[in-house]
Amino acid sequence: MSEQVLVCRSDELKEGAVRVCTIGDVEVGIFRHNGGCHAYKNVCPHQGGPVCEGVRMPQVEDVIDENGLFVCQKFNEDDVHIVCPWHGYEFHIESGEHVIDPKVKLKKYDVVEREGQIYVAI
């Protein structure tokens, strides 16, 4: 059975922010995205880098015209990625899955937000 550990007040984690904290012997990153919170172990499955300390950026998409020709690139703000600072591995912020291989995932923790507080279930 998991224990819910208080991380911070809800107003301390603004939209687009991350808070990295230690819960027991596990370092966890809690992200505020689209009004919700997502928590992951701060370890990249590639080579153990501090993934939650990486930048967050929208998916870059190619725009192709009706003739199959490249027009430009654009950001997809609906699909934000966490980018590991060590080797650039990218993970979807909402699922923790690698953007190319969904079998590669960040260790995800449940987040509960109630009465103005954010808790992570470890």
Domain ranges of the chain: 4-121
CA–CA distance, 65 with 68 (Å, rounded to integer): 5
* CATH number belonging to domain 4-121: 2.102.10.10
Q: pLDDT digit string (tens) for 63-111? A: 999 999 999 999 999 899 999 999 999 999 999 999 999 999 999 999 9
Residue 44: count other Cβ atoms within 10 Å of its Cβ: 25
Could you tell me the pTM of the whole model? 0.90
Q: Which two tokens stand for residue 24?
A: 């027991």
Q: pLDDT digit string (tens) for 18-57? A: 999 999 999 999 999 999 999 999 999 999 999 999 999 9
CA–CA distance, 79 with 65 (Å, rounded to integer): 22
